Amino acid sequence: MNVAAETRRELPNKKVRRLDPAAIVGVMSRDINLFRKFWKATTFSSIVEPTIYLLAFGFGFGGLVASVNGVDYIEYVGTGVVASAALFSSVFAGMFNTFIRREFQRTYDALLAAPVSVEELVTAEVLWISCRAGIYCMAPLFVAIAFGLDPLWGIMLVPFVGFITGWGFASFGVLISAMAKSIDNFNYVTSAIITPLFLLAGTFFPINELPPAIEWLAQFNPLYHCVQLVRDLVIFGLGWIDLVHLAALLLFAVVMWRLAIWRQTKQLID
Partner 1 sequence: MARAARTSSFIVISVTPAISLRGVVKRFGDITAVNGLDLEVEPGICFGLLGPNGAGKSTTMRLLTAQAIADEGEISVLGFTLPGESKAARMEMGVCPQLDNLDVELTTRQTLNVFARLYRVPRAEREAAIDRALTIAKLHDRADTKTSELSGGMRRRLLIGRALVHQPQLVLLDEPTVGLDPQVRQELWTLIDGLRSDGVTVLMSTHYIEEAERLADTVAVMAEGKIVAQGHPTELVREHAGEEVIEVYGPPLRLTEVTEHAQSRGWITRRSGPAVAILRAETLDGQAPDGERRAATLEDAFVVLTGQEIN
3-state SS class at 68: strand
CB of 41 to partner 1, least distance (A): 13
Closer of 10 and 184 to partner 1 (Cβ): 10
Applying the rule CB under 8 A, the residues between 35 and 54 that interact with partner 1 are 37
- What angle, rounded to 10 degrees, do the helices at 158-179 and 118-136 form? 140
Among 113, 182, 212, 240, binds partner 1 (CB under 8 A): 113
Q: Mapping DSSP to helix (H, G, I), strand (E, B) and coil, where does residue 12 land?
A: coil
Q: How far is the CB of 43 from partner 1 (least distance, A)?
A: 17
> Is there binding between residue 19 and partner 1 (CB under 8 A)?
no
Q: Of the two residues 7 and 182, which places its CB atom closer to partner 1 in the complex?
A: 7
Which strand (E) or helix (H) includes residue 71? strand 71-72
Nearer to partner 1, 51 or 97 (CB): 97
Contacts of 81 (CB under 8 A, 6+ apart): 50, 51, 53, 54, 140, 203
Does residue 13 bind partner 1 (CB under 8 A)?
A: yes
Which residue's CB is nearer to partner 1, number 23 or number 144? Answer: 23
**DSSP code per residue over 144-159:** HHHTT----GGGGGHH
Q: Does 16 engage in binding with partner 1 (CB under 8 A)? A: yes
3-state secondary structure 92-135: HHHHHHHHHHHHHCCHHHHHHHCCCCHHHHHHHHHHHHHHHHHH
Cβ proximity to partner 1: between 18 and 212 the closer is: 18
Name the site residues for partner 1 (rule: CB under 8 A): 1-9, 11, 13-14, 16, 22-23, 25-27, 29-30, 33-34, 37, 105-107, 109-117, 268-270
